[in-house]
Structure 1
Amino acid sequence: MDKNKNNQSISEKADMLISQYHVNPNVDKEEVLGTVLNKIERKETKSVRQINWFRAAGISAAATVAVLLAFYFFTATIAISAGDSKILTYRMPDDSRIVLRSGSNAEFGKYFRKRQVALEGEAYFEVEKGDGFVVKTDNGIVRVLGTRFLVSGKNSRLNVKCYQGKVETEFENKSWILEPGTQFAGDESTANKSRFDESVQFPDFALFSKNFTSAPLTEVVQRIEDFFKVQINLQPGITKTFSGSIQTANLESALQIVCESLRLNYEFEDDYRIKIFNY
């Protein structure tokens, strides 16, 4: 067998594998490579045997690193956790937003090849359009057919509320389709679908609920940015203060409350970048 030809073939396959995967452009490639190489050095005997197998098969060092990089891109995960006394919001790789209730945890692929989230506890989701989105708990699975919903998986219970769009809930080998204003509750003895008050558009912990007294606008803007995971550019020279209450789960409503009271204007530069400026 032609050794160079074999190396070229495997290298091409590794390149194809990596090219089919969309890597976050903000990731420092040298940092990723360093991480992978460090992992290689720390591998136990089994991994060493695997690398030796690569070498025995005539695969070049470059091809070996390419395969390991591809493996990393496909398997790297992000784990987020909300402490016992706080709410955590996070913008996932596909720009979907998750709000974790205190004491809850979630894990998903760093590069989100599969839009799948493993959840422990309770979370509110605002899902961007795309191919499939799945939330897995120990007690059941929720497949997203819409955009805004709540999932709570604790002990042997599964609770799901649909606020917008549709979600499919799987529990004990059965499935339920939830429309806006409907919810699912299942435990060891019962499983049913019912309606809830449609005037309730968000779970309480997903509300941005703050009171401000003569707070610098920069502080108010920072709080809004942190909760909704957006970037707000404040026009230089604006030094106003804000007093009032904000209680909403809608970003634009929060912006309206602040800007209208201070006679300012705002504009979306894209979905997650906003500028605030004088009239």
Structure 2
Amino acid sequence: MDEDYKLAKWLNNELTAEELAEFKQNPDFTLYEKIKENSARLKTPAFDQDKMLSNVVATKKATKVVKLQQNWFARIAAVLVIALGLSFFIVNNFKEKYYGTSLTQTVNLPDNSEVLVNKNSSIEYKTFFWKNNRTIDLKGEAYFKVAKGKTFEVNTNLGKVTVLGTQFNVNSKDNTFEVTCYEGKVKVNYKNHELILTKGMLVTFENDSKKEGKTTLSMPKWASDKMEMSFTNQNLKTIITDIENTYNVTIKTNTIATEQLFTGKLPSNNLDVALQIIASTYHLQINKSNETSFELVKK
């Protein structure tokens, strides 16, 4: 109860400097602060404290009961504020982020880890306390470049992969579960099997059978191919459409000729470079309206 009392005093800004310094050492203080901040946005029905107290006091001795009820009221109020604040905080911050697309897509996670999600695949993760709980649910196939930090886990319907700062590929489709390690070390769990993979090792489970192998590649072929777009005698209109689809942007070309042909390669992971290559090839200027809207015009 002492902890509840300090919490109530802190919510009412009644702690002394010494008590506040001690309270800040509480391991949950950061969470309390976030809850308090979000609770301030809540609107609750009007509450007549005096009326409630007078009804209670009518059956008790006024001097003693009022003091007791006020102390309990402070605690009850603290609990209500925490409960409402926690609900508000969870609803607005414990949201799942889902990426599923018919195109290969690069996803940057909160800790700067990078996931390249293959076509017709998806990942799902929670942003709330992500740094302390780096867990992703995967359907299909994805290539991971994990930033160093605490344990990083990838869950699928067939098995689980646990890593610490590495690059690896997970393919979980139908009855096949395949994991390839390109850098670092990963731990693979599949039913009753658990094994460690290091750089260049791979394992495939299919209908409960296990097959181990090796690779000399630095990343999966599908991910490597996706790093660039290759064109042979393609008109500019087709190329612009491909850039728009790859980067999910809009590029206006109303004032330029788009029948011109292009042969070459464009990066699929760097929009600025891709646009610069097109602009320099056809002597165009890039006008940027915002992060997703561009226009190509004659110089």
1:139 to 120, 134, 158: 158
Task: Give the counterpart letter for 1:63 in structure 2.
Answer: I
**Distance of aligned partners of 1:134 and 1:209 in 2 relative to their CA distance in 1, 3 Å threshold:** same
- The one-letter code matched in structure 1 to 2:194 is S
The correspondence for 2:28, drawn from 17, 31, 49, is 17
Q: Equivalent residue for 1:149?
A: 168
Give TM-score, length-normalised by structure 2: 0.56
3-state secondary structure, aligned to 1:158: strand
Name the counterpart of 1:7: 8
My pick for the range that moved more, 168-177 or 132-141, is 168-177
1:158 to 177, 195, 198: 177
Deviations along 1:24-49, one digit per CA (max 9) or x if unpaired, are xxxxx87x987xx69x9xxxxxxxxx
Paired AA for residue 209 in structure 2: T
Deviations 1:85-118 (A, max 9, x none): 3222211111111121222121111241411101
**SS in structure 2 at match of 1:66:** helix
Pairwise CA RMSD: 4.7
**Residue 107 (structure 1) aligned to one of 124, 141, 151:** 124
Shift of 1:67: 2.7
Q: Which has the higher contact order (CA 8 A, sep 6+)?
A: 1
Q: Quick one: distance in 1 between partners of 2:198 and 2:29?
A: 39
1:10–1:63 contact (8 Å) kept in structure 2: no
Separation of aligned partners in 2, 1:22 and 1:156: 46
Alignment of 1:28-39 (within 5 A): none
Q: One-letter code of the match for 1:110? A: T
Q: Is 1:78 aligned to 2:105, yes or no?
A: no
Residue 63 of structure 1 and its aligned partner are, at CA, apart by: 2.8
1:118–1:33 distance in 2 versus 1, CA, 3 Å = farther
Q: Tell whether the 8 Å contact from 1:169 to 1:175 is kept in structure 2 after alignment.
A: yes
CA distance, structure 2, for counterparts of residue 58 and residue 213 of structure 1: 70
**Structure 2: distance between partners of 1:22 and 1:219:** 47
Per-residue CA distance 1:139-163 (angstroms, 9 max, x = gap): 1111123422111112232111122
TM alignment of 1:66-215, pairs within 5 A = 66-72=85-91, 75-82=94-101, 85-111=102-128, 112-113=130-131, 114-196=133-215, 198-199=216-217, 201-205=219-223, 207-210=226-229, 211=231
Structure 1 letter corresponding to 2:109? M
> 1:89 and 1:67, CA in 2 relative to 1: closer, same or farther beyond 3 A?
same
Task: Provide the residue aligned with 2:77 in structure 1.
Answer: 59
1:257–1:166 CA distance, 2 compared to 1 (3 A): farther
Aligned residues: percent identity?
A: 21
Q: What amino acid is the match of 2:170?
A: V
**Cα deviation, residue 56, structure 1:** 11
Distance 1:242 1:126 in 2: 36
Quote the offset at 1:123 in angstroms: 0.9
Q: Which amino acid aligns with 1:173?
A: N
Mapped partners of 1:22, 1:109: distance in 2: 20
Assess, with a 3 A threshold, how the Cα gap between structure 1 residues 244 and 257 changes in structure 2: closer, same or farther: farther
* 2:159–2:177 CA contact under 8 A, matched in 1: yes
Q: Distance in 1 between matches of 2:228 and 2:96?
A: 31
Give SS of 1:59's match.
helix
The number of residue pairs the alignment matches comes to: 225
In the alignment, the residues of structure 2 paired with residue 170 and residue 9 of structure 1 have an alpha-carbon distance, to the nearest angstrom, of: 46
Structure 1: distance between partners of 2:138 and 2:174: 12
